[in-house]
Amino acid sequence: MKYLLTILIFVIGVKSFACKCAFNDPIRSFSTEEFVGHIKITQVYPNEGESSVYKTDVELLELFKGSEITSIFVGGRSDGKIGTSCDVFYPAGSELVVTASRNSSGQLVFGMCSFIIDLNAERRSNQINLDVIRTLSKWDNTYSSNLEYFISSEFADLLESKKGIQVKERFALFEVNFNDQQLPIEVNVIKGFEDPVDAEIVETLSNCTYKLRPFGADKSRSDSIKIVVPVYFYPAERGNKSFMGTFVL
């Protein structure tokens, strides 16, 4: 009984201090972060004193947003000391796509809660996330927005009706512009499916109702009232029909 109680206390303690991050995706991260880039870490330095970040030198392989860099800080510990559950460590040789912003000391930092594509790890979503970021960068490499959005059910109903559809592209991105009353005034195709379904999506997004609000610590009004809405296509597999959705799986 004593050992069981000890284990329960340990498990509860671990859960209590588990790192908690808000939902993140490539579009939200691209729109809110100062820097987005494909980097390779070439050297890792130890934390300075009790600093919660450590410096890395990097080779910038591809720049998607922001200015060119030769180094970046990582939230975590590289000196072997015990940190927090939000600490991350990437050794030299790590190849990543990262989104980063500046901390109170002016250091450009990414960490556990940043959107990160670890290209050394084989994940199903890596390529499509990278392609989305490349598409956003080519469309507008300065795009910034602090808005999260909720779309009325007509949009979900349209996507639900597309079960079994066949298209060649894996995703499409749509720009929705609003007036001061949060009513859509223009919908543009950033990247489409090159299929008649694009016109259906544009029409539906043009006629939906929206709820927009700032997310994160910055509650100021966004300079431009527009959002980017993704639609992902998943081909049929394991006896399941193909379908469309708004999340990367």
Contacts of 28 (CB under 8 A, 6+ apart): 115, 148, 215
Q: What's the CATH class of domain 24-129?
A: mainly beta
The mean pLDDT of 24-50, rounded to a whole number, is 95
Average pLDDT along the chain:
90
Kind of pairing between the strands at 35-44 and 226-234: unpaired
Q: How confident is the model at residue 70 (pLDDT cuts 50, 70, 90)?
A: very high
Q: What is the pLDDT of residues 3-16, one digit of tens each?
A: 444 444 444 444 44
SS3 230: strand
Record the pTM.
Answer: 0.88
Beta carbons of 75 and 87 less than 8 angstroms apart = yes
Quick one: 164 exposed, middle or buried, by C-beta within 10 A (0-12, 13-18, 19+)?
A: exposed
Beta bridge pairs of residue 187 = 176
Domain residue spans of the chain? 24-129, 147-245
CA distance 129 to 154: 26
